[in-house]
A = this chain, B = another copy of it.
Amino acid sequence: MSGEVTIYDIAEKLGLSAATVSRALKDNPAINSNTKKKIRAAAEAMGYRSNRFASNLRKRTTNTIGVVVPRLNSNFMSTAISAMEKMASDAGYSLIIVQSLESPAKEIANIRTLFNSRVDGLMAALSSEQETDIDFRILTDRGIPVVFFDQVPSGSSQPCIIIDNAQAAHAITMHLIGQGCKRIVHLTGNVKRFVYRERLSGYKMALLEAGIPFDEELVLHSDLTELSAPDIANRILEMDGRPDALFAANDMSAAACLTAFRERGLSIPGDIAVAGFNNDPISRLMQPNITTINYPAYQIGATAATYLLNHLTGKSSLQATNKVILHADLLVRESTMRLPHNDQLRSVF
């Protein structure tokens, strides 16, 4: 716009060169401190704002970080992103957020877009386990750092911030077994996704350990949304030999199934115990409240951002830390407490 003030305007007004103004505003030690003061005062008075594009063009850096997620309207994602935004903003970086909406094509396009936007770094939770691993090469090949979180590529050597999903699922399954459950249904999502595959494997491991034969029939697949829950609940209730527990891979579907069960007159956890995953608010507010795994969304987002930012600002290198595994507690609540007194602590929160 015509009203835009540049360093040239400031330079002209003070009878200096643009170079001097540029250096002064960057607090370059070569500039006399009196000159700096004058320049700063003039810049302020004239309403100067630096043009990022000119600066980026010249410096070949953008102070912008890209974030790729499957979708951002889940409690986990929005909390994680909230943490990232705070960290990035405190460090002077902006966030560009894109969602793939479960479409691998969109995911690839998104990666290209961020690449073209010349982000300085990237944080990503994958939509699927497709070729995307390869597509990140266009970034990593040019030295643009990528940190994965939540949904990470398996077998890659890229930095990842995750929890031990298998171990958490193992813990929750063992807890159910400890409560006397024998036929435990596991409701999972798309097992191409890292987290669901891991949770399934933890579930299997626990069964194996307890000497309970694994039954493929007891593993149900869905998109884990509220909408598909009634159907899932039906299928569980119609099984030969009714299951005595449901371990769902997220809290939303655990809650929705629990509601469906109760509408059929089942008592929870007496007739069927229900456990979820994530510690979404809903797991605390349902009655009975739902046993779950505390998935530390904020901490995961904050950690991913911290590692990336430290790398970008040269404070530390990412290669040193390939994988960060955060702790995820089992929260035992009413929905699985079948034994009156047991040795598990009842979690209040």
Which A residues fall within an 8 A CB radius of B? 1, 3, 49-54, 56-57, 60, 62, 64, 71-75, 77-79, 81-82, 85-86, 89, 94-99, 101, 110, 113, 115-118, 142-143, 226, 252, 255-256, 259, 262, 281-282, 284-287
Contacts and interface: CB of A to CB of B under 8 A. Distances in A.
For this chain, the copies found in one complex come to 2
Contacts of A117: 52, 94
A8 B116 CA distance: 18
A53 B118 contact: yes
A85 B98 contact: yes
Nearest to A114: B94
A51 B53 CA distance: 10
Contact of A57 (B57, B99, B262, B287): B57
Nearest to A55: B53
Q: Kindly list the 3 A-B residue pairs having the minimum CB-CB distance in the complex, ordered from nearest.
A: A78-B78, A73-B78, A53-B57
A49 B116 contact: yes
Contact of A95 (B57, B96, B101, B255): B96
A255 B255 CA distance: 14
Contact of A52 (B54, B98, B116): B116
A330 to B, nearest CB: 21
A53 B120 CA distance: 14
A245 to B, nearest CB: 19
